[in-house]
């Protein structure tokens, strides 16, 4: 074993590299928070100061009074929660179909599902937009949700996880006369619960953050989601309201940050264990 001192001597250069990266990653976030707590003068006069003094919540009250912010939060949440549930459900069902059953063209069908993960979104938007128009779902949350109810990566990850379940466990259940549906619910699901939860958190965060597809579907100001609302502060509202813009950005970032704060070990570990391989 090396002594503490020796390991410091060998490693300080690497720690420096890491700390520089940490600084670059965190500084914009700190900056967003601190700017949102500054009044207009402070924004321009002490731009770099990370500790606004005195901090002011004017930007927040300003947005809350002048914009239907709570509606935006609800819109974003409503879409995200349904998308998340549906993605998790369809992924688990399909993955179970692939793991428990043997059928013709299995790998082809699986690869077909996985491939959808790699199709660029703009290739899909125009035909899907026309479809939503036909269904009369433009400017509704359902138009946003519908094409996002399924996820190729979800199917892949759930299959990977289920493959890790020891075969004898399943065989014992079959011998006991359990039906496949019972096996999925009573044997498989309890075992893969942590992975389902972890991927659901990621689905939720991704849907919460989604910008491009909702941008096309949602028009009316009262239907917008938070990431879309952000756009208003750089186009119409002019370029000087940085404090307000940062307040909205902070509010948009809060749920993902809180979720991550509570579940970070869990999320990171799931990623590291699931063996995300191509």
Task: Bin 207: left if φ > 0, else alpha if -120 < ψ < 50, else beta.
Answer: alpha
Task: Bin 238: left if φ > 0, else alpha if -120 < ψ < 50, else beta.
Answer: left
**How far is it, in rounded angstroms, from Cα 30 to Cα 35?**
8
Three-state DSSP class for residue 192: helix
Select from 96, 157, 192, 217 the one that contacts another protein (CB under 8 A): 96
The closest of 265, 244, 259, 249 to 56, measured between CA atoms, is: 244
Q: Is 16 in the site for another protein (CB under 8 A)?
A: no
Q: Which stretch binds another protein (CB under 8 A): 57-65, 120-128, 136-144, 192-200?
A: 120-128
Select from 51, 119, 135, 172 the one that contacts another protein (CB under 8 A): 119
Q: Is 232 in the site for another protein (CB under 8 A)?
A: no
Min separation Cβ 278 and another protein, Å: 3
- Interaction residues for another protein, span 64-93 (CB under 8 A): 89-91, 93
Distances (CA, A) of 270 to 85, 153, 160: 19, 14, 12
35's tokens: 């700017």
Select from 54, 65, 70, 277 the one that contacts another protein (CB under 8 A): 277
- Interaction residues for another protein, span 34-63 (CB under 8 A): 35, 44, 47-48
Select from 60, 67, 72, 98 the one that contacts another protein (CB under 8 A): 98
Three-state DSSP class for residue 3: coil
Which residues does 268 contact at the CB level (< 8 Å), separation at least 6?
Answer: none
Select from 9, 53, 57, 116 the one that contacts another protein (CB under 8 A): 116
Looking at beta carbons only, is 191 or 263 nearer to another protein?
263
Q: Which stretch binds another protein (CB under 8 A): 19-27, 57-65, 66-74, 188-196?
A: 19-27
| Cis before 54? omega within 30 | yes
Looking at beta carbons only, is 54 or 118 nearer to another protein?
118
12's tokens: 């300080």
- Interaction residues for another protein, span 156-195 (CB under 8 A): 180
**How far is it, in rounded angstroms, from Cα 241 to Cα 229?**
14
| Residue 199 near residue 158 (C-beta atoms within 8 A) | yes
Select from 60, 67, 72, 233 the one that contacts another protein (CB under 8 A): 233
Q: Which helix (H) or strand (E) holds 160?
A: helix 152-163
Select from 3, 5, 28, 168 the one that contacts another protein (CB under 8 A): 28
Looking at beta carbons only, is 28 or 166 nearer to another protein?
28
Q: Is 21 in the site for another protein (CB under 8 A)?
A: yes
> Under rule CB under 8 A, how many of the chain's residues touch another protein?
94
Select from 66, 219, 257, 262 the one that contacts another protein (CB under 8 A): 257
| Residue 144 near residue 79 (C-beta atoms within 8 A) | yes
Select from 63, 79, 113, 218 the one that contacts another protein (CB under 8 A): 113
Give the position of tokens 């692939």: 98
């Amino acid at each position: 074993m090396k002594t503490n001192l020796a390991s410091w001597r060998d490693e300080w250069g690497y720690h420096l590299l890491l700390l520089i990266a940490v600084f670059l990653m965190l500084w914009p976030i700190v900056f967003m928070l601190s700017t949102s707590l500054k009044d207009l003068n402070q924004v321009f006069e002490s731009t770099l100061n990370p500790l606004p003094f005195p901090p002011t919540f004017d930007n927040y009250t300003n947005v809350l009074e002048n914009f239907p912010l709570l509606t935006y939060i609800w819109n974003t949440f409503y879409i995200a929660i349904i998308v998340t549930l549906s993605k998790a459900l369809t992924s688990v069902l399909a993955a179970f179909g692939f793991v428990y059953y043997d059928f013709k063209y299995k790998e082809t069908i699986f690869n077909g599902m996985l491939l959808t993960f790699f199709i660029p979104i703009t290739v899909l938007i125009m035909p899907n937009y026309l479809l939503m128009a036909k269904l009369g779902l433009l400017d509704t949350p359902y138009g946003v949700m519908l094409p996002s109810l399924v996820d190729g990566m979800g199917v892949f990850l759930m299959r990977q996880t289920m493959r890790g379940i020891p075969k004898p466990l399943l065989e014992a259940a079959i011998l006991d006369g359990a039906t496949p549906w019972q096996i999925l619910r009573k044997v498989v699901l309890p075992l893969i619960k942590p992975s389902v939860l972890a991927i659901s958190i990621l689905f939720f965060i991704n849907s919460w953050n989604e910008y491009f597809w909702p941008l096309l579907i949602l028009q009316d100001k009262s239907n917008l989601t938070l990431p879309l609302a952000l756009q208003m502060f750089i186009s119409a509202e002019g370029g000087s309201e940085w404090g307000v813009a940062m307040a909205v950005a902070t509010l948009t970032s809060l749920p993902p940050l809180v979720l991550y704060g509570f579940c970070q070990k869990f999320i990171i570990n799931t990623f590291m264990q699931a063996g995300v391989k191509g």
